[in-house]
Amino acid sequence: MNQKIYEGKAKILYATDDPEILLTHFKDDATAFNAQKKGQIRRKGEINCAIATHLFKFLETQGIPTHFIAQTAPDRMQVTAVKIIPLEVVVRNIAAGSFVARTGIEFGTLLKYPIVEFFYKNDNLGDPLFTEDHIQLLELATPAQVIQLREMALSINNFLQKFFSDRHLTLVDFKLEFGCERSGNILLADEISPDTCRLWDDLTSDPNQKIMDKDRFRQDLGNVATAYEEVLARVKL
Ligand code: 5GP
């Protein structure tokens, strides 16, 4: 049995015989609002693992370095061991979620250009929005790394927007995490899935039915697993 080295809200990380390689287990557990709301989504572990695998492979073909090595079971993925940079890098194309609450820009507004935001990954503080000065002061990343994170995030957004739009899904916003290899190389880490993206179905104009992501769970809209399954089916197209 592999040694568990970290258990997060949606994933468990295990060590392997090779110190450079870790094993990620995707759980069916779902949480929202800093774990104040808890539940399970049927087959989420397998669905998100399959979606993340597909998207990591796609991004690698576009020249984005990721931690993905291989999918080893329906809900397991081998990844390169990295030191996670404790920042959530959010890219937004359309106003939704906390951005609406913070700016007053109307929900659903197409932004003139994609917005990048950094949040400090810290559950005790509720993942606050951080400026570059905050990042420097707490030494979470160097100024050069912040520039690189921003460039990588925007480039990933370009690739994913087109990828999803070809599948009749609008990429509203998403959260990325990055990690540093021992060499200092920055890799895209964590996962990309309906847990970490807002995706709207272009094939319906019904505001409730459009939502294909974790907002269905957050807002108790029902049919959460069905929406995740549909995203997987389209990702595989
Ligand atoms: P917001 O800041 O509007 O709550 O989230 C922006 C985007 O980042 C959404 O797609 C949301 O799913 C994702 N996101 C932000 N923080 C987290 C987080 O802590 N966990 C997950 N899974 N996604 C997050």
The answer, yes or no, to whether residue 1 has pLDDT greater than 90, is no
The pLDDT value given to residue 154: 99
**Which mutation among 121, 191, 196 tests ligand 1's pocket best, with the greatest number of atoms within 8 A of CB?**
196
The pLDDT value given to residue 158: 98
Q: Who's near 84: CB < 8 A, 6+ residues apart?
A: 121, 177, 178, 179, 189, 190
Any ligand 1 atom below 6 A from CB of 97: yes
Q: What is the mean pLDDT of residues 9-20?
A: 97
Listed residue (35, 42, 8, 53) closest to 191, CA to CA:
53
Q: What is the mean pLDDT of residues 64-93?
A: 98
Ligand 1 center to residue 34 CA distance, Å? Answer: 10
Any ligand 1 atom below 6 A from CB of 122: no
Residues 39-76: tens digit of each pLDDT: 999 999 999 999 999 999 999 999 999 999 999 999 99
Residues 111-138: tens digit of each pLDDT: 999 999 999 999 999 999 999 999 999 9
The answer, yes or no, to whether residue 180 has pLDDT greater than 90, is yes
Provide the 3-class DSSP secondary structure of residue 156: helix
Atom 11 (ligand 1): residue with closest C-alpha? 196
Ligand 1 center to residue 236 CA distance, Å? Answer: 23
pTM above 0.75, yes or no: yes
Amino acid identity of residue 39, one-letter, is G
**Which mutation among 173, 195, 199, 213 tests ligand 1's pocket best, with the greatest number of atoms within 8 A of CB?**
173
Average pLDDT, the chain: 98
Atom 24 (ligand 1): residue with closest C-alpha? 196
Q: Is 133 left (phi over 0), alpha (psi -120 to 50) or beta?
A: alpha
